[in-house]
Chain A
Amino acid sequence: KAGVTQTPRYLIKTRGQQVTLSCSPISGHRSVSWYQQTPGQGLQFLFEYFSETQRNKGNFPGRFSGRQFSNSRSEMNVSTLELGDSALYLCASSRDTRGDEKLFFGSGTQLSVL
């Protein structure tokens, strides 16, 4: 069974640009969550999608958005990039969002904003 796949693995962008990151969950998983990981802040929850609907959202500005397709694949978009958006963006999938459901993480997309 293939794991969670995130593309691209690395991205370099400049301030003001926008970026789209992709996540393919494990087959059969309908929930996809996105996290931002930085050395100073650790893992911060961005949002969660389930069956193409955003079910949960963290405390990030509206420049951060996402969507989920009918095959459960998800994308997140960051517009008007800022230097502080440089981070590792992790996607995690699970069958559902319940406490006893394991989150399976991808290896992440390392975004550098210059």
Chain B
Amino acid sequence: GEDVEQSLFLSVREGDSSVINCTYTDSSSTYLYWYKQEPGAGLQLLTYIFSNMDMKQDQRLTVLLNKKDKHLSLRIADTQTGDSAIYFCAEFMNRDDKIIFGKGTRLHILP
């Protein structure tokens, strides 16, 4: 089936690192993404990784890809209150030419 799985909630203290995990289904997916949705807004692309990469770093964001286990993670260093949002993992389904999203992980920042 077409399922991108991720946990629904994560609470992290301000200043700590947040790690959001995701498993995807299509082993032939070439692109995997992390999108962020703030309240009342649409989704915004945070970062994406090509399938021939294991890791991608962009300032406070680190994406790790384990193709063997079809596991993707997003690490946010020094988590700030502005990082409070829903984070969606997504994969590009090559066979269908469409992007499938997980249900989203709501990140809550504790003071």
Interface residues of A (CB under 8 A from B): 4, 33, 35, 41-43, 45, 48, 55-56, 58, 90, 92, 97-100, 102-108
Contact = CB atoms under 8 A, between A and B. Distances in A.
Contact of B100 (A45, A48, A97): A45
B111 interface: no
Nearest to A108: B42
Contacts of B103: 41-43
Interface residues of B, number: 23
Contacts of B99: 33, 45, 103
Contacts, number: 54
A98 B100 CA distance: 13
22 contacts: A42-B88, A42-B101, A42-B102, A43-B101, A43-B103, A45-B100, A45-B101, A55-B97, A56-B97, A58-B98, A97-B97, A97-B98, A100-B31, A100-B48, A103-B43, A103-B45, A103-B99, A105-B42, A106-B42, A107-B41, A107-B42, A108-B42
